Structure 1
Amino acid sequence: MILEAAMLQVKQGREKEFEKTFKKASTIISSMNGYVNHTLQRCMEDQGRYLLLVNWETLEDHTVGFRESKEYQEWKELLHHFYDPFPVVEHFENIDFTN
C-alpha cells in the first residue's frame, strides 16, 4: 500500500467553502480503482492548513489511474483554485520492521 500525503494551504477566508467542496470531491477519489481510504485533517495552529492522506493499493493507481483520468479533471476543477501555494504531493511506503 502507498500513502499519498499533501499539505494543503487554503486561501484565507475560503476554509469553510473548501471543506464543503472537498466533501463533494471525496466521492470522486473514493470511486477510483486502487483507492483504499483517505482522511483530511485541519491544522490546529494554522486555520488554512490541511493535511490530506490517501492510501492507494499501488503508486500507479494514483499517478496514472487517477491523475490521467477524466475524474481527475473534475477533482482539479473543484479544488485546485483553493490552494495558494499549490501543494507538493509525496508518496510513502511502509517500512516492515517484522523481519
Structure 2
Amino acid sequence: MIYEHAHLTISPEESDAFESAFASARHHLESAPGCRSVDLTRSIDQPSTYLLKVGWDRIEDHLEVFPTTDNARSFGQSVATYFQEKPLVVHFPG
C-alpha cells in the first residue's frame, strides 16, 4: 500500500464551495481501481491549504491506472477549478 499526499491550495473565499464539490465528487476517488481510503483535511494555520490523503494498493494504481479512468475525469472536472496552483503530490509507503 502507498499513500498519496496532495497539498491543495484553494482560495479561502472558495473553501465552502470546494468542500461541497469535493464531498459530491469523493465517490469518484473511492470507487477507483486500487483506492483504499480518502481523507481531506483543511490546515488550521493556513486556511487556503488542504491535505488530500489517498491510500492506493500500488503506486501504479494512482499514476498509471487512475488517470485513464472516467473516475479521474469526473473528479477533476468537479474540483480542479478551485485549485489556485498545481497540487504538490508526494507518495509515501504504507
Q: CA RMSD in A?
A: 1.0
Residue aligning to 1:59: 59
TM-score w.r.t. structure 2 length?
0.93
Counterparts in 2 of 1:16-31, with a 5 A limit? 16-31=16-31
SS in 2 for 1:4: strand
Tell me, yes or no, if structure 1 residue 7 matches structure 2 residue 7. Answer: yes
TM-score w.r.t. structure 1 length?
0.89
Runs of 4+ in 1 over 3 A off after TM superposition: none
Q: Give ranges in structure 1 of 5+ residues lacking alignment.
A: 95-99
Equivalences, count = 94
Counterparts in 2 of 1:1-99, with a 5 A limit? 1-94=1-94
Q: How much has 1:23 moved relative to structure 2?
A: 0.5
Give the Cα separation in 2 of the matches to 1:29 and 1:39: 10
Return the structure number with greater helix share: 2
